[in-house]
Structure 1
Amino acid sequence: MNKILNICALMIFSAVFSQIPILEIENQKKHPVILQEAKIDTKILGNLATTTATYTFYNLSSRILEGKLTFPLPEGVSVSGYALDINGKLRNAVPVPKERAKEVFESVERRNVDPGIIEKVEGNNFRTRIYPIPQNGSRTVQITYHQELKNLASDYQYFLSFVNATTIPKFSLNVSIHENTSVPKILENPDGNFTFQKQGNQWIAEIHKDNFTPHESFKITIPKTNQSANVLFQKASDNKSYFATSIAMNFPVKEKPKSQKIAIIWDNSFSGSKRNRDKELDFLNAYFADNKDVLVSFVLLNNTLEKTEEFTITSGNWSQLKSKILNVKYDGGTDFGALKEIPNVEEYLLFSDGISNFGDLSIKFKKSLNSISSTPTSDFNTLKLLSSQSGGNFINLNELNTDSALKTYKKLPVKFLGFKENPVIQDIFPTVGSAVNEPVNIFGISSSNLGKLTAVFSVGNDHYEVPVDFNVGSQVENWQIAQFWAQRKINELELNSTQNRNEIKNISEQFGVVSKNTSLIVLEDINDYVRYKIDPPQELQAEYQKIVSQNKGRILEQRRNLLSKAFDKTKELKTWWKTEFKPSEEKKYPKISNQSARDTTDNRRLEEVVVVGALGIKRNEVSSSNKMVGSEAKPKGKITLVDVESKEEYMKDFQNLQSAEVIYQKYLENRSKYEKQVSYYFDISKLLFKKGDKALSLKVLSTLAELDLENEELYKTIYYLLKQRGHYDKELWITQKILEWRPFDSQSHRDYALALVDNKRPQEALNVYKSLLYQEFTDEISMRDNGIEEILIMEINNILRQNKNVDGSKIDDRLKADLPVDIRVVINWNKDNTDIDLWVTDPRGEDCSYGHKSTQIGGRLSNDFTQGFGPEQFLLKKAVKGKYKIKTNFFGERQNMLSGPTTVMAEVYLYYSDGRQERKIAVFQSQKENKRESDSKILIGEFEF
């Protein structure tokens, strides 16, 4: 693979999607990539706008790179178009189910071909992955999105943020405003000379600059027309049309009654530090100026809900509460599953980004909850759901000033009640009964003869009517009203995304709108569209159909399951287990020449760790458990694991600190210097656990979930440590999320099944294993994971052996085998495209490793995984007396700036599947960047018999 590293491009946003991407690259000096050209085109009609941003990135280095851009979009806005340059020409993407797009992308990428995808990740955030960015070459990506402009008193406002923009070699901006007689007003001007000129029925402004640094962002206001409702039509099929109508609502504002006792839920997870605290404090200042006497219950939310504190606000003086907020420490992940009702509260204010990365929302508040967002990376839908379910208001401080935000909080919501005449309109959005803001844009599908209708709204118990004349609507050809409609429908459906999963997927695929369930993909080779059964863009349709007809139904994509290989592997394992191994006289065995066998025990301590068996056997119970059937015929075994100590420079600051609380305070004090360094959280969490503070250790560990969105490598690191420390409920949740993101990885299914076993749900685990054996994988992924069936067979039969009440009737008899062993070791790692080797040295000095997979005493090593996430397994049926050393070797590690060094989990078993099963787990990270010529093995544990 020529893939060297991932580029994380962090988009900086202010209120609306920032138009200038800022690239953060590991080792910027060594691998510089610049934004060579930015071209932005925006067209506006009424309060609807479509923006297309085209970026060209140039790789100044001599290495091929993979690119990743992650960016938020405003509330209610999604990506509706994506293109990538293929052979010098932009090729449009096509919609594909999200997990399928990722599977195809990674399969094609392994062949060094040019794919690109854009997907929606947590919140309203979007990510595009591009491969490759050639050495001393460029790649171009184009992103299109539709948005409804925000309403001011007499104007609509459009804003492009150029915050933090650096000099761009080539820059162009074109803005056209259609069907408006009044000149737009420019409030912020990128170069000071940007002006609108009238051309026919349009206002047009444009600039083209070389080596341009934007002077400021671009903000304009567009005067409203005098009409109470405008209607636009786009033709659909069957004599139907998509329509959009913008309706002004000049209704009296009605305020809700004031509350005497409120609760403020303050999200102080690590990501909370990224919220706009000044805007939040300004809002609270306005709130307490208006609600001068109120009792406040204040509670912090991170990976737990912390103890409530009470504050009495008198005459608007909230200085003590403000001081508390100003001194809040931000740390930990976010678990909305920890939310609960607070007694005697009349109303809630929730300050959060709405992204729950350590648990699922499980509560529907009975009292009114007002959710407040101040960061553009928020999960707007979750925050709106919390508010709408409870009768509260959603307040978006990204788009509202303090006065407007307070008015939004105070007012009774305006609800849309449909059309008085009740015409035949399909899929109208917003849905009837929904709370709406002014102006309201109503989208739907209808016949072309609706005539004059009356839209009905309510404020409290009062009803209001607004006439809408569909007879004077305009047919538009170059405006994607259908995509606006689809975007609105998806937004409504995503309020309950799990329940509406299939419908979201269908709408997204039909209209090419990116959602939680659907991504857009670009492939280079027409044969890949055919092979993976992906309908290509229009320009490739003719060639695609020709190839399909020539193949005459022949399946090009060879998808394989694990079943037939599993049958063969079961036979092989049975034969191995029945073999009687008779080693020759004891002797020393030669080492493989290109591996260094230096003793690593000088900087690593052998340490007893918590022991957890599948039967719940703990360390102090081992002596009695060894008296179980068959134990008298075998030597007693003992596992000792190694504490692989961190060599990071920051650990010197902690070496003389004794208490967990002091260590935690030092961790917070130093964190700004290591904010994006994964090993920092890993090492401090480990240190706090050793000091006995499980709660603080878990909080620091959960912070890893806040460093990136939907990053399976970070989540696997969290999963390993949760398993090691016995946090089985969270282990299950984390592995379920990874499986949701990566159902095409066999290891994702296996991890989830093992978590089910830890949670004493063996029947469900067995069902997962069974479905995994029947699931089909692409050729590339099948090759990558070749040999995993040996590990699965051992684990399936272990469930059957350890749990007599499990129904194994649906497991094929050809997969069943009684295979108890004295020693079993399995290593797993958290990174794709990584080669880590397992080595076990027996008391006779013989190594079992990738180059020598079977030993004279019967040691057996599974297939060598040189890509993917592992696993690799060592088995020994009958241990001979003496000491066994377990080592790993980082043979081909892929570094990633976001997920840090590779994390390895070793599952170490004594007496696996024979009724005395004992398990210990080691979790550690590589300590340096390894190169093939300087590989060294890390001692991670020992067996002693």
Structure 2
Amino acid sequence: MKKVISLMATLAFTAAFAQIPTLEVSGEKKHPVILQDAKFETKILGNLATTTATYTFYNPSNRLLEGTLTFPLPDGVSVSGYALDINGKLRNAVPVPKERAKEVFESIEKRNVDPGIIEKVQGNNFRTRIYPLPQKGSRTIQITYHQELKNTASEYQYFMSFANAVSIPKFEMKVWINDGASTPKIIENPDGSLSFQKQGNQWIAAISKENFTPNESLKVNIPKTNHTSNVLLQKASGDQSYFAANVNVDFPQKEKAKSQKIAIIWDNSYSGSKRNRDMELDFLNAYFTDNKNVSVSLVTLNNTLDKAEEYTVSQGNWTDLKTKILNLKYDGGTDFGALKEINGVEEYLLFSDGISNFGDVNIKFKKPLNSITSTPTSDFNLLKMLANQSGGNFINLNETDTQTALKNFRKLPVRFLGFKENPNIKEVFPNIGSVVNEPVNIFGITSGNLGKLTAVFSNGSEKFEVPVDFSNASSTENWQIAQFWAQRKIDELEVNPSKNREEIKNISEQFGVVSKNTSLIVLDDINDYVRYKITPPQELKAEYQKIVSQNKGRILEKRRNLLSKAFDKTRELKTWWNTDFKPVEKKEYPKIADNAVYAEPESPSRSRDVQTSSAMRVQSMEVSSAKMEERESQPKGKITLVDVESTAEYMKDFQNLQSAEVIYQKYLENRSKHEKQVTYYFDISKLLFKKGDKVLALKVLSTLAELDLENEELYKTISYLLKQRGHYDKELWITQKILEWRPFDAQSHRDYALALVDNKRPQEALNIYKSILYQEFTDEIASRDNGIEEILIMEINNILKQNKNVDGSKIDDRLKADLPVDIRVVINWNKDNTDIDLWVTDPKGEDCSYSHKSTQIGGRLSNDFTQGFGPEQFLLKKAIKGKYKIKTNFFGERQNILSGPTTIMAEVYLYYSDGRQERKIAVFQNQKDNKPESDSKILIGEFEF
């Protein structure tokens, strides 16, 4: 008996940097989750600040809820501390490789015990999940991050945003400023009464409120000392120390020559509509006020790069260009792989958030590219890389006003060239040759007393020297200079995350800084730390070591590969294929009617084209078994797929529209009403494709990538439709991304291998298939995917059969089998913890399904997948004449409102592996209620022989 997966309501919220998070519960408007308690503690030393935010969420409903918090942090800031309440006490997280953290998280989750995890997703965005939020109960999370303060020649500035804050039952804030000679100035005050008091050598400000709504954000200006540079040291092992040197440079600014011909690359992907366009237009207005006569090529970028449109700005008048920008439509994903240079251009201005979710950047601009961003969710590292590589400037409008931004744009980039002397300094960041902002923060590792050094900078062709006095350095005992250093090193390495993957992981794990390769995890049970070989936080180490010593020699984490089961499955498939299935016809004798005329019995197995009239004698319908076998041994099959139509209410607005362009305009017009509704983009993309406009269909489809960060469910939906429509290059890119995020899923490897086959790279695909069988999976995930070996064996042998030049010598002979079949159907779906069933009904009316896996004519169904992503497979060696119906039956899913209903892909094959192979693909979304009812089956196609 199959079990329906229980559903949980899901909450999701997004918080801007240091902003009070607002929670919304999907489908639970009557019982929103409440932010019950918000507590902020900030410690400032020089131009370095550490902030710890503690949030307590209360669930007033009678349902168990699950939450996801995604929040951006500013350029150069990363999470370096995370804690979750376990049994009423905060427990600190520990660093684990990102893919390992997710694998452990999901393995434990299947036992209905959820740990806490925080990870870095695209851009400088971070995600944590809160589960369980017990009914009428609360959970607390704590997040710590370090930042370098904005600074001018005379002040540092600390800023915490309370934008969009609502009333909070309990609100606390405390700010410590160390060693401040002058009183800090509060520029923006959350309640109007916050003030600093001197206590010893610290300035302290604190408030504690109930039912409080902040009136303003917090902005504090901190006067600097008169030193040219300030150096902080944190003692490390031996005579080594980590240092942070804040260097005030004061040399003449050199301006670059004004360009006469520029190109504006305007990111008008869907996410571009979330940027601060007013701020960007203000910057352009200041630019054209300063550079009054210039030729402009405007190109727009989303999933494609459009052809340039030419404009001439004369005497600062850029009205036509501005009108064009104001009227741009924002749609599609973002593909930085489409970027290319434009002939005759002297300089580029790129306006974008830098998050490329539909392709990788593969160009190094020869002319200066200035990257300009206005949203806190940006990929700052990528935008800085594009600017630095080309000799342009990176302009972050989130952190500066328009005139300062223009000043930074006009200047020649300042580069750090290292220290003039060659002392015992290593691992200095920024890297030598990097573009820096003024004043400059330099981090590194030193040994011994360095005394007075000289930092060297270049500005154009000139070099400048600035003294840095290490002899007056301040030693800090509890200040995490090492984490600041690690954060800067990771920023440099993440410019090329694939190349530097191992080094990023090692640094992140050693210093506990979240990166693209390392997450922080909290486990509930001490035995899980032992089982998964994760070193626990300090307070659990003694107990951990005790359990480890007691279990010495035992392997607590059960890991399995698929190889031995694959050998068994190959033998089983060979036995099945070599079996001669000869269904026994039910013998019926004609009844003698009163008029003594024979009546013909009905035979559901007979083909319609050989049916005879009921008046014929029974002898005339008898066919020798030999002739029947001969006829059925060479059937000519045909696949007919059913287009599963959307039943969504919004489709009524499109039913009478004929042209693709009119449909697209109506889609844009109605989009605001369905902005986060995945089915809307799915359905309209399918409609545009049916109308023959592949370009618009792809643009709408790629928009799904913009709805969330690193969401494999959305990406799987995209990959299915890309495969169906023949966009194999993009299918390969999408499946490779999913594999990066989820290397612990056999299905991720399989999807990538199938994409390689589609791209005519069978040798690489075969290597992936081999690696799947040898890779070890956790016990929970291996159990979830039990039976996938049968599908893998068919696909491995199909590659060997269809590609004679492929080297199969590294494939174990026990996995090789020649298994051509007349019919093969495979279904996959995009969600974990989901149960979709495949049903095939043969011409005799016999169903092959999870409860009846083999049929009289030889139909065979693979294992029933009730938890994972599938797949499920139907095979038939020899087809008999007649119609075969293919259906799917939805059984249940874990609720995830954001990624929409489950997307199902059915690959339907004729003559699989026998030289006449033909494939058709159906992709559709579940439109049934989550109920195991008999009428929930969806007809998706037919075979006719």
Q: 1:218 to 1:857 in 2, by over 3 A?
A: same
SS at match of 2:777: coil
User: For residues 31 and 338 of structure 1, what CA distance do their matches in structure 2 show?
Assistant: 45
2:84 partner amino acid: L
User: For residues 8 and 919 of structure 2, what CA distance do their matches in structure 1 show?
Assistant: 36
User: For residues 500 and 319 of structure 1, what CA distance do their matches in structure 2 show?
Assistant: 45
| Greater mean deviation of Cα atoms: 189-198 or 93-102 | 189-198
Please say if residues 371 and 386 of structure 1, whose CA atoms lie closer than 8 Å, have aligned partners that are also in contact: yes
1:437-516 equivalences in 2 (<5 Å): 437-516=437-516
User: For residues 580 and 633 of structure 1, what CA distance do their matches in structure 2 show?
Assistant: 12
User: For residues 933 and 687 of structure 1, what CA distance do their matches in structure 2 show?
Assistant: 29
SS at match of 2:75: coil
2:639 partner amino acid: I
1:821-860 equivalences in 2 (<5 Å): 821-860=821-860
Q: Per-residue deviation at 1:934?
A: 6.9
2:663 partner amino acid: I
SS at match of 2:863: coil
User: For residues 587 and 732 of structure 2, what CA distance do their matches in structure 1 show?
Assistant: 46
SS at match of 2:688: helix
**Equivalenced residues, count:** 900
User: For residues 633 and 328 of structure 1, what CA distance do their matches in structure 2 show?
Assistant: 60
Q: 1:436 to 1:770 in 2, by over 3 A?
A: same
1:290-309 equivalences in 2 (<5 Å): 290-309=290-309
Q: Per-residue deviation at 1:309?
A: 0.3
Corresponding residue for residue 106 of structure 2:
106
User: For residues 553 and 53 of structure 1, what CA distance do their matches in structure 2 show?
Assistant: 42
SS at match of 1:553: coil
Corresponding residue for residue 524 of structure 1:
524
Corresponding residue for residue 240 of structure 1:
240
Q: Per-residue deviation at 1:819?
A: 0.6
Q: 1:292-336 CA distances to partner (integer Å, 9 max, x unpaired)?
A: 000000000000000100000100000000000000000000000
| In the alignment, structure 1 residue 9 sits paired with structure 2 residue 16 | no
| Greater mean deviation of Cα atoms: 449-458 or 720-729 | 449-458
Q: Per-residue deviation at 1:894?
A: 2.5
2:378 partner amino acid: S
Please say if residues 157 and 219 of structure 1, whose CA atoms lie closer than 8 Å, have aligned partners that are also in contact: yes
Q: Per-residue deviation at 1:7?
A: 2.3
Please say if residues 928 and 936 of structure 2, whose CA atoms lie closer than 8 Å, have aligned partners that are also in contact: no
User: For residues 19 and 315 of structure 1, what CA distance do their matches in structure 2 show?
Assistant: 42
Q: 1:387-436 CA distances to partner (integer Å, 9 max, x unpaired)?
A: 00000000000001000100010001222222222211010111222111
Please say if residues 642 and 940 of structure 2, whose CA atoms lie closer than 8 Å, have aligned partners that are also in contact: yes
User: For residues 844 and 929 of structure 1, what CA distance do their matches in structure 2 show?
Assistant: 30
1:244-283 equivalences in 2 (<5 Å): 244-283=244-283
Corresponding residue for residue 605 of structure 1:
none
SS at match of 2:642: strand
SS at match of 1:644: coil
Corresponding residue for residue 419 of structure 2:
419
Corresponding residue for residue 197 of structure 1:
197
Please say if residues 587 and 845 of structure 1, whose CA atoms lie closer than 8 Å, have aligned partners that are also in contact: no
Please say if residues 890 and 928 of structure 2, whose CA atoms lie closer than 8 Å, have aligned partners that are also in contact: no
TM-score scaled by length of structure 2: 0.94
Corresponding residue for residue 157 of structure 1:
157
SS at match of 2:560: coil
Q: 1:626-683 CA distances to partner (integer Å, 9 max, x unpaired)?
A: xxxx999411111111111001111000000000000000000000000000000000
2:362 partner amino acid: S
Q: 1:578 to 1:587 in 2, by over 3 A?
A: same
Q: Per-residue deviation at 1:84?
A: 0.5
Corresponding residue for residue 664 of structure 2:
664
Q: Per-residue deviation at 1:271?
A: 0.3
Q: Per-residue deviation at 1:488?
A: 0.7
Q: Per-residue deviation at 1:710?
A: 0.2
Q: 1:106 to 1:467 in 2, by over 3 A?
A: same
1:56-71 equivalences in 2 (<5 Å): 56-71=56-71
Q: Per-residue deviation at 1:851?
A: 0.6
User: For residues 827 and 203 of structure 1, what CA distance do their matches in structure 2 show?
Assistant: 64
Corresponding residue for residue 863 of structure 2:
863
Please say if residues 76 and 488 of structure 2, whose CA atoms lie closer than 8 Å, have aligned partners that are also in contact: yes
Corresponding residue for residue 614 of structure 2:
none
Q: Per-residue deviation at 1:152?
A: 2.7
User: For residues 524 and 103 of structure 2, what CA distance do their matches in structure 1 show?
Assistant: 16
1:556-571 equivalences in 2 (<5 Å): 556-571=556-571
Corresponding residue for residue 874 of structure 1:
874
Q: Per-residue deviation at 1:114?
A: 3.0
Please say if residues 78 and 515 of structure 1, whose CA atoms lie closer than 8 Å, have aligned partners that are also in contact: yes
Please say if residues 337 and 361 of structure 2, whose CA atoms lie closer than 8 Å, have aligned partners that are also in contact: yes
Corresponding residue for residue 619 of structure 1:
none
Corresponding residue for residue 166 of structure 1:
166
Q: 1:3 to 1:555 in 2, by over 3 A?
A: farther
Corresponding residue for residue 774 of structure 1:
774
Structure 1: gaps spanning 5 or more residues: 589-629
Structure 2: gaps spanning 5 or more residues: 589-629
User: For residues 788 and 30 of structure 1, what CA distance do their matches in structure 2 show?
Assistant: 42
1:8 partner amino acid: A
SS at match of 2:640: strand
Corresponding residue for residue 942 of structure 2:
942
Q: 1:31 to 1:888 in 2, by over 3 A?
A: farther
SS at match of 1:8: strand
SS at match of 1:657: coil
1:334-353 equivalences in 2 (<5 Å): 334-353=334-353
| In the alignment, structure 1 residue 178 sits paired with structure 2 residue 182 | no
Q: Per-residue deviation at 1:24?
A: 2.8
SS at match of 2:495: helix
Please say if residues 153 and 439 of structure 2, whose CA atoms lie closer than 8 Å, have aligned partners that are also in contact: no
Please say if residues 586 and 844 of structure 1, whose CA atoms lie closer than 8 Å, have aligned partners that are also in contact: no
User: For residues 322 and 403 of structure 1, what CA distance do their matches in structure 2 show?
Assistant: 19
- Calculate the aligned-residue CA RMSD, in Å: 1.3
1:545-624 equivalences in 2 (<5 Å): 545-585=545-585
User: For residues 444 and 243 of structure 1, what CA distance do their matches in structure 2 show?
Assistant: 5
SS at match of 1:643: coil
Q: 1:502 to 1:3 in 2, by over 3 A?
A: farther
1:4 partner amino acid: M
User: For residues 740 and 803 of structure 2, what CA distance do their matches in structure 1 show?
Assistant: 27
1:103 partner amino acid: E
1:471 partner amino acid: S
Please say if residues 587 and 844 of structure 1, whose CA atoms lie closer than 8 Å, have aligned partners that are also in contact: no
SS at match of 2:781: helix
Corresponding residue for residue 898 of structure 2:
898
Please say if residues 415 and 434 of structure 1, whose CA atoms lie closer than 8 Å, have aligned partners that are also in contact: yes
Percent identity of equivalent pairs: 81
| Greater mean deviation of Cα atoms: 707-716 or 841-850 | 841-850
TM-score scaled by length of structure 1: 0.94
Q: 1:550-600 CA distances to partner (integer Å, 9 max, x unpaired)?
A: 111321111000000000000000001111112122699xxxxxxxxxxxx
Q: 1:164-220 CA distances to partner (integer Å, 9 max, x unpaired)?
A: 111111111111111002111111111111111111111111111111111111111
User: For residues 54 and 312 of structure 2, what CA distance do their matches in structure 1 show?
Assistant: 53
Please say if residues 109 and 131 of structure 1, whose CA atoms lie closer than 8 Å, have aligned partners that are also in contact: no
SS at match of 1:210: strand
Please say if residues 633 and 878 of structure 2, whose CA atoms lie closer than 8 Å, have aligned partners that are also in contact: no
Q: Per-residue deviation at 1:355?
A: 0.5
Corresponding residue for residue 597 of structure 1:
none
1:827 partner amino acid: I
Corresponding residue for residue 615 of structure 2:
none
User: For residues 421 and 799 of structure 2, what CA distance do their matches in structure 1 show?
Assistant: 63
SS at match of 1:496: coil
1:547 partner amino acid: I
| In the alignment, structure 1 residue 692 sits paired with structure 2 residue 692 | yes
Corresponding residue for residue 355 of structure 1:
355
User: For residues 935 and 228 of structure 2, what CA distance do their matches in structure 1 show?
Assistant: 73
Q: 1:51-108 CA distances to partner (integer Å, 9 max, x unpaired)?
A: 0000111112222222211110000100000001111110100000000000000001
SS at match of 1:427: strand
2:781 partner amino acid: I
Corresponding residue for residue 613 of structure 2:
none
| In the alignment, structure 1 residue 721 sits paired with structure 2 residue 725 | no
Corresponding residue for residue 783 of structure 2:
783
1:361-376 equivalences in 2 (<5 Å): 361-376=361-376
Q: 1:942 to 1:31 in 2, by over 3 A?
A: farther
Please say if residues 7 and 893 of structure 2, whose CA atoms lie closer than 8 Å, have aligned partners that are also in contact: no
Q: Per-residue deviation at 1:286?
A: 0.3
Instruction: Kindly name which structure, 1 or 2, has the bigger radius of gyration based on alpha carbons.
Output: 2
Please say if residues 3 and 64 of structure 1, whose CA atoms lie closer than 8 Å, have aligned partners that are also in contact: no
